[in-house]
Structure 1
Amino acid sequence: MLLKKILVFVFTCFVTIGFSQKSPKKEIKKATYISKAVYVKDISPLKGKDLIKGKPRKGNINPRRTDGNKIVPGKGSKGPDPLVKRQKSSQGLRVSKAISLTFEANTSTFSPSDPTGAVGPNHYVSAKNFEFAIHDRAGVEVMASVSLENLFPGESLGDPIVFYDSFADRFVVTQFSNTPNGFLVAVCKGSDPVNDGWFTYRFNTGSFPDYTKFSIWSDGYYVTANKDQNSLQNDEVVFVIERDKMLKGDENAKMVGFPLPGARIGGFYSPASFNAIGNTLPPDGDARIIYYQDDAWQGVTEDALKLWTINVDWVNLAESTIAESEELTVSGGDISAFDTTFDGGSFGNLPQPGSGQDIDVLQGAVMYATNYRRFCDYNAVVLNFAVDIDDRQDSDNVSGIRWYELRQNGDGQPWTVYQEGTYTSTDGKSAWCGSMAMDIFGNIGMGYSTIGTTANLATEDSFVSIRYTGRLVDDPLGTMTFPEETIAIGTGINNTNQNRYGDYAQLTVDPVDDQTFWHIAEYFQDIDDNARNVVGVFKIAPDVASDVGVIRVENPVDAVLTTEETITVTIKNFGSSVQTDIPVSYSINGGAPVNELFAGPLNPGKTASFSFAATADLTAERTYNITAETNTTTDITPENDCATTDVKNLFANDVGVTALISPLTEGQFSSEEEIIITIFNYGGSAQSNIPVSYSINGGETISEVFTGTLASLESVSYTFTQGADLLQFGEYSFEIGTVLSGDEDATNNNITTTVVNALCAPTSDCAQFGDGITSFKLANVTNSPIGCNTGYEDFTGDFTIELEQSIEYTLTVQSGFADDNGAERFSVWIDFNDNNTFEASEIIFDNVIISEIDTDLGFNFTLDDEAAPGNHLFRIRAGDTNTNSGAPLSDPCGSMQFGSTHDYTVNIVNESTGPDPDTTTELIVVSEPENQFVITKTDTNAADEERIYVFNISGQIVASNLLKKDGNGTFTYELDMSYAKSGIYFVRLGSSKRNIAGFAVR
């Protein structure tokens, strides 16, 4: 290998890794995370309360930019977007559809404001970072914008999502949290968000779940998050929470988490889960997650849309799976090539007028929401993301919106591309930050943002503005045919937070007519507090006289079915004329239809219940598929005439277990661990005196009896009186079960699950008041500043503290909260005997007072010459002893309300084998064959993370990524320049101009 140190200038280093790999075989993985709601809080109705006002959040809005996808310079699709020409030829094919209503939902002192909102039958609920508001359907405030703390006591971190679950007639509001890391979900108790009260849930996720997006599916609320970058193939980044229980306020609502197997993503990402809208839920399971892959990214060979299938088993969550399913590619002829890379992966992209900083195009995100709708002959989903449509090879200042409609010919069938398009705004403006949905007829509406380019910065269209367009179901495929219409025109640049924008917008469909679109997005006015969230209401569907359909099969429901079951459906008139004598039919499991007549009348926009006179015998099978539809000969859109449902014919006597609630799947357990299970009555009859049991690792079976009464299709938690000894670290295989006398289905009686006893990692609140260690310095290790996540941090792989026997050292610590009365204290342990238990004899500092806030305080200690040499676990723990009942006095694992716990590795050496000296090197570029480069910089005093940039000789960024320092203080970046043009390039690490390195590509 030839070492070349080329042009070491004064600048800081910047690095990017590149390599290629073949697509792996499709993987199936089981759930990697199983838990339940930490709590559910009963929030009383908002009306009449003295509500908490919103307080703008300080510091970073959110860490969305922690890293961009790894870009290989010169690689990927370039040149004109292949779909732009078709769009331009069809733009304005339809007559303009004027907006029907606009109103401002709220204002903001900074961007991104994260606008989100959804329309219900009587209200529009919107939210932004730290606040939410409620309007009536005329846009009039019912409740002025107030703090999210009114729904989530004590928490208003933000990044909210609002959605309306039309299948349950409930609003849902969410936000993320870092005290500890997780997300919060507030479910309205009824249809009225002002008067009905809320159930508020917390779910913990381990690491921080940035950029959470929520979707509705039949078997749960699905959540995607920009979490665990660079390890999302193994760490859970998709979650499903138990929708049915949350709607009831059940404290036992469970959550299951999944990785994305086979994902080829190297930085920020925002995949999407399909979000069901309309009148009919999909069947349980077969839920899809979708994300795009750009061939400019490292490890991606061609542009593609990649889908995963999730099947949740709420009975035995450990058997829930995620699997790679469809991959729709350019080479397969499924999709056209696209370019989603702007400015080498960095986040300042679209020029603002005048001196404004380039604004974020939101690359790496499938825009919210990916809306799914069922029709009689197919299922459909629409999605979009930003693409570079600048014709110039050396510029990417103009954005368009690549959008898709995927279709599925039937439940359980593969998804394919029905149509694709690239939408471009008029007059050369950029279009981005789109949100789209289908109405009941299959027409598509899309709201989006626009901004002028360098060619038209003098026009009124220069500033960020909000627009909409759409297409009718029978328009030419791949085109938005309605001319661009305006919701709001901006008059100023983003002067609140540099280049941040969005981070998203949201378009929802009105549940009243299932035709009108409500879109919320962010724009700016030429004033100080200039970020504005505006709502625009529009409809593109033409008025039709005759269009009716069955929207739901209401009865029968899961039960012990009989030989004479009544079939009841709900019919809706989507048209503009009164309908009478409507032919209606139903069929069972695809059999011969039963035809009858609903006399009516049914007025426009109204629904009616209809029960068939002909009953059905539903006793022979365990499951029945019932399809009902209207058959009006003058119906304009037969695709929306039908609804279907699956109904279970229950056994009378059928009880089983669904989950091991305690102990958790991983923790540090005791010799008297409490065993709690969930029992579920699958049958149609109430049951009492239910025998239950558990055994561990095939040992003795512990049998007891639940003496209460359990109603049909209800669950209950049972705590065994006899606990278990789980003190030893390792895996424990539990078999839990029921043995109901006369049980008619033994398949659900028992489940097996494994729990792991591992080192305790206690979480706590380190953010609200700054409790815990914020800076740590000892010997060769400096860890500062230390951010707050869950309150527990594992630094064992990042830092090794080198200590010698019989040498005095000074431990320097700092806390964000302290007082002279000793409220904040810390303790330190070293696990000298390596048994993963911190014993009293291993305490180095015991309950030492931290007397000053944000001040480095030094504490001396010496290890005696009997201290065991080698690597050991080092734990430091600090907290508010006034609220923590003495912790961390002598308890290394106890729960703390306020504080933090950190683990390090310590290497104890004797005098003859002292620690390695610190080293600092210059920025070094090593050239390898085929234009591969390895860039390194060692600096133990540098920050833990630095951003690396690769520039061409003109100063254009061709790649950008975030680097983390390893345990030796070294930054390393592997850069693939095999696709780049020949020439001179430069790298820079960080923002300082002290080090820069140049290199040649030949």
Structure 2
Amino acid sequence: MFRKSVLSVVLGIFVASCLMVLQGRVLLAQNGATVVNDVNHDQSAPLGEMSASAVQDGGEPRMIPLRHRMHKARQGQIDPVVQSSAGPLVSATPASAFGGVGANGSAPPDSNGAVGATQYVEWVNSEFAVYDKATGALVYGPVAGNTLWSGFGGPCQDTNDGDPIAQYDKAANRWVMTQLGNVSFGPPFYSCVAVSTTSDATGSYYRYAFSFNDLNDYTKLSVWPDGYYLSANMFHKLTGGSFSFAGPQACALNRAAMLAGRTATMQCVQLTNFYYSLLPSDLDGSTPPPAGSPNYYVSLDSNSLNLWKFHVDWTTPGNSTLTGPTNMPVAAFNEGCNGGVCIPQGGTTQQLDSLGDRLMYRLAYRNLGSRESLVVNHSVTAGSVVGLRWYEIRSPGGTPTVYQQGTFAPSDGNYRWMGSIAMDQSGDVALGYNVSGSNMHPAIRYTG
């Protein structure tokens, strides 16, 4: 029963012009980006005054296809960086814990959230809610995701197609929300974006719709000083309704325009289907990257990571560049569940998807003054179970290198997967993740 899923939310402190061959990869600086204009934008009424869209409750589960790229299995490799025992327990306690939004008939739930100045927003595929950060009290919702676009018109209002991201732009004190539109009826397919006018998630929003000829699946959003950055796996819809993978796409949204509610554009660069599932760097902390820094995109490759640098020019889009990839070797690994389904859970033979074919959101960036770091993770095979491979990448703006890495897989017979990682102002790293096994129900844990 998908409807009865409940989360316990834990709040915490968290691609021409120049060619060269670099570490076995072609390093390409692609000049110019495709400009995507918004097809509609407006300013909404306060969220509490808008008509809430109906939320599906009960009945048949709403299945949202999880689209994988077809790939060949690699031969078994020994993971040389497995941590098979947990470290000593420390006296860390959650700052706040409270019941969250249920999956409400949607699978997968795509649960995510963001912490603002005084509120926490959680979005679980088809619906979202706003909570008081200090007390955990429910402030607004849960309501259907497309409530944000009530009165906006078009597919962003009329469809509620998930793949949502809730973000908080800490430098501007604004909420940034996005989800897909028109997935079942496209092309065109839509990216629906809403930017709050204040720090209050229940207030009014500047709302935008951008359209694409291909399905912009598995969209991920990040905050950067010169733009909001998106990644998506693009799928071309074929005659008969099936989809073929076209490659990943990197897009920058005009943050300055969107914060002011003006007409806004995206600049997008499409990669070939040799690559898959990029993540854009997301700024943590109060220290911005050096002036003029590009946004960084990272993807998973065979025993390596690929890194691109996206420089956007909002005045002259022809000067925008996506340069890369730089290929960074890492310790050998096999994708968790060979990138597919194998995670057991107690009380049923139904197994869960590892999402082991891609990096897990977010690609967290922090400028510590003396260095810049990116941290990211993915799921790997660890003996007979699945564990979490994590990395710290240093000097992304210069010559990026994998400074440290490890696989967290304590030998207790349980599977750990779908992590999310971040670094604090002291350079310490925390990793939240899912855990499940044949003798336990799926749960949430964290380590550091």
Distance 1:354 1:115 in 2: 23
Task: Tell me the SS of whatever aligns to 1:151.
Answer: helix
The yes-or-no answer on 1:133 pairing with 2:134 is: no
- 2:380 paired residue number: 387
Q: Alignment partner for residue 189 of structure 2, among 173, 181, 190?
A: 181
**What letter is aligned with 1:465?**
A
Distance 2:284 2:419 in 1: 18
- 1:438 paired residue number: 423
Cα deviation code 1:895-946 (max 9, x no counterpart):
xxxxxxxxxxxxxxxxxxxxxxxxxxxxxxxxxxxxxxxxxxxxxxxxxxxx
Question: Deviation at 1:96?
Answer: 3.6
Question: Deviation at 1:39?
Answer: 1.3
Question: Deviation at 1:144?
Answer: 2.2
Question: Deviation at 1:52?
Answer: 3.2
Q: Alignment partner for residue 139 of structure 2, among 137, 142, 149?
A: 142
**What letter is aligned with 1:101?**
S
Q: Alignment partner for residue 465 of structure 1, among 433, 439, 443?
A: 443
- Given that 2:33 and 2:321 are in contact with CA atoms closer than 8 Å, whether structure 1 keeps it comes out as no
TM-score, normalisation: structure 1: 0.39
- 1:64 paired residue number: 66
- 1:123 paired residue number: 119
- 1:243 paired residue number: 255
In 2 relative to 1, CA 250–148 (structure 1 residues): closer, same or farther, beyond 3 Å? same
- Given that 1:34 and 1:318 are in contact with CA atoms closer than 8 Å, whether structure 2 keeps it comes out as no
- Given that 1:352 and 1:452 are in contact with CA atoms closer than 8 Å, whether structure 2 keeps it comes out as yes
Task: Tell me the SS of whatever aligns to 2:143.
Answer: strand
Distance 1:241 1:97 in 2: 38
- Given that 1:167 and 1:281 are in contact with CA atoms closer than 8 Å, whether structure 2 keeps it comes out as no
The yes-or-no answer on 1:336 pairing with 2:323 is: no
Task: Tell me the SS of whatever aligns to 2:353.
Answer: coil
Cα deviation code 1:136-193 (max 9, x no counterpart):
0121000120122321232322111001000110011110112531201100001111
Q: How does 1:710-729 map to 2 (within 5 A)?
A: none
Task: Tell me the SS of whatever aligns to 1:64.
Answer: coil
Q: RMSD of the TM alignment (CA)?
A: 2.2
- 2:323 paired residue number: 323
- Given that 2:64 and 2:106 are in contact with CA atoms closer than 8 Å, whether structure 1 keeps it comes out as no
Q: Alignment partner for residue 208 of structure 1, among 212, 215, 221?
A: 215
- Given that 1:30 and 1:258 are in contact with CA atoms closer than 8 Å, whether structure 2 keeps it comes out as no
Distance 1:88 1:430 in 2: 12
- 1:82 paired residue number: 80
Q: Alignment partner for residue 362 of structure 1, among 329, 333, 355?
A: 355
In 2 relative to 1, CA 403–24 (structure 1 residues): closer, same or farther, beyond 3 Å? closer
Distance 1:127 1:139 in 2: 15
**What letter is aligned with 2:95?**
S
Distance 2:414 2:28 in 1: 42
Distance 2:60 2:373 in 1: 41
Bigger drift between 24-33 and 418-427 goes to 24-33
- 1:581 paired residue number: none
In 2 relative to 1, CA 59–210 (structure 1 residues): closer, same or farther, beyond 3 Å? farther
Distance 1:291 1:48 in 2: 41
Distance 2:211 2:31 in 1: 19
Task: Tell me the SS of whatever aligns to 1:358.
Answer: strand
Q: How does 1:916-955 map to 2 (within 5 A)?
A: none
Q: How does 1:841-860 map to 2 (within 5 A)?
A: none
Distance 1:204 1:129 in 2: 20
Q: Gaps spanning 5+ residues in structure 1: where?
A: 1-21, 295-302, 330-334, 392-397, 471-1002
- Given that 1:348 and 1:357 are in contact with CA atoms closer than 8 Å, whether structure 2 keeps it comes out as no
Cα deviation code 1:70-126 (max 9, x no counterpart):
105xx44x2442111xx235x323524122321122112243111111111110011
- 1:352 paired residue number: 345
Q: Alignment partner for residue 260 of structure 1, among 271, 275, 285?
A: 271
Distance 1:427 1:257 in 2: 45
**What letter is aligned with 1:200?**
R
In 2 relative to 1, CA 25–110 (structure 1 residues): closer, same or farther, beyond 3 Å? closer
Q: How does 1:274-285 map to 2 (within 5 A)?
A: 274-282=281-289, 283-285=291-293
Q: Alignment partner for residue 168 of structure 2, among 164, 168, 174?
A: 164
In 2 relative to 1, CA 425–464 (structure 1 residues): closer, same or farther, beyond 3 Å? farther
- Given that 1:309 and 1:324 are in contact with CA atoms closer than 8 Å, whether structure 2 keeps it comes out as yes
Question: Deviation at 1:352?
Answer: 2.4
- Given that 2:296 and 2:309 are in contact with CA atoms closer than 8 Å, whether structure 1 keeps it comes out as yes
- 2:397 paired residue number: 412
- Given that 1:227 and 1:237 are in contact with CA atoms closer than 8 Å, whether structure 2 keeps it comes out as yes
Quick check: which one's strand share is greater? 2
The yes-or-no answer on 1:103 pairing with 2:110 is: no
- Given that 1:32 and 1:258 are in contact with CA atoms closer than 8 Å, whether structure 2 keeps it comes out as yes
Distance 1:59 1:280 in 2: 44
Q: How does 1:491-890 map to 2 (within 5 A)?
A: none
- 2:234 paired residue number: 227
Distance 1:419 1:230 in 2: 32
- 1:289 paired residue number: 297
Question: Deviation at 1:205?
Answer: 2.0
The yes-or-no answer on 1:46 pairing with 2:57 is: no
Distance 2:141 2:35 in 1: 38
Which of structures 1 and 2 has the bigger CA Rg? 1
Q: How does 1:972-983 map to 2 (within 5 A)?
A: none
Q: Gaps spanning 5+ residues in structure 2: where?
A: 1-22, 151-156, 236-243
- Given that 1:134 and 1:144 are in contact with CA atoms closer than 8 Å, whether structure 2 keeps it comes out as yes
Task: Tell me the SS of whatever aligns to 1:450.
Answer: strand
TM-score, normalisation: structure 2: 0.84
Question: Deviation at 1:426?
Answer: 5.5
Distance 1:152 1:270 in 2: 27
Distance 1:222 1:425 in 2: 35
Cα deviation code 1:416-473 (max 9, x no counterpart):
11110101145221100100111121111111000114xxx2xxxx111111111xxx
Distance 1:325 1:24 in 2: 7
Task: Tell me the SS of whatever aligns to 2:318.
Answer: helix
**What letter is aligned with 1:183?**
S
In 2 relative to 1, CA 376–32 (structure 1 residues): closer, same or farther, beyond 3 Å? closer
Question: Deviation at 1:47?
Answer: 3.1
In 2 relative to 1, CA 58–237 (structure 1 residues): closer, same or farther, beyond 3 Å? farther
Question: Deviation at 1:32?
Answer: 4.7
**What letter is aligned with 1:103?**
F
Task: Tell me the SS of whatever aligns to 1:92.
Answer: coil
Distance 2:63 2:216 in 1: 14
- 1:372 paired residue number: 365
Task: Tell me the SS of whatever aligns to 2:257.
Answer: helix
Distance 1:231 1:52 in 2: 33
- 1:822 paired residue number: none
- Given that 1:115 and 1:128 are in contact with CA atoms closer than 8 Å, whether structure 2 keeps it comes out as yes
Cα deviation code 1:659-713 (max 9, x no counterpart):
xxxxxxxxxxxxxxxxxxxxxxxxxxxxxxxxxxxxxxxxxxxxxxxxxxxxxxx
**What letter is aligned with 1:258?**
V
Task: Tell me the SS of whatever aligns to 2:177.
Answer: strand
In 2 relative to 1, CA 310–385 (structure 1 residues): closer, same or farther, beyond 3 Å? same
Task: Tell me the SS of whatever aligns to 1:225.
Answer: strand
- Given that 2:337 and 2:386 are in contact with CA atoms closer than 8 Å, whether structure 1 keeps it comes out as no
Q: Give aligned pairs, total.
A: 403
Question: Deviation at 1:244?
Answer: 0.7
Distance 1:278 1:59 in 2: 39
Distance 1:279 1:125 in 2: 21
- Given that 1:37 and 1:203 are in contact with CA atoms closer than 8 Å, whether structure 2 keeps it comes out as yes
Task: Tell me the SS of whatever aligns to 2:343.
Answer: coil
Distance 1:167 1:58 in 2: 42
In 2 relative to 1, CA 419–111 (structure 1 residues): closer, same or farther, beyond 3 Å? same
Distance 1:190 1:181 in 2: 29
In 2 relative to 1, CA 427–420 (structure 1 residues): closer, same or farther, beyond 3 Å? same
Distance 1:32 1:314 in 2: 10
**What letter is aligned with 2:274?**
R
- 2:205 paired residue number: 198
- Given that 1:79 and 1:390 are in contact with CA atoms closer than 8 Å, whether structure 2 keeps it comes out as no
Q: How does 1:953-964 map to 2 (within 5 A)?
A: none
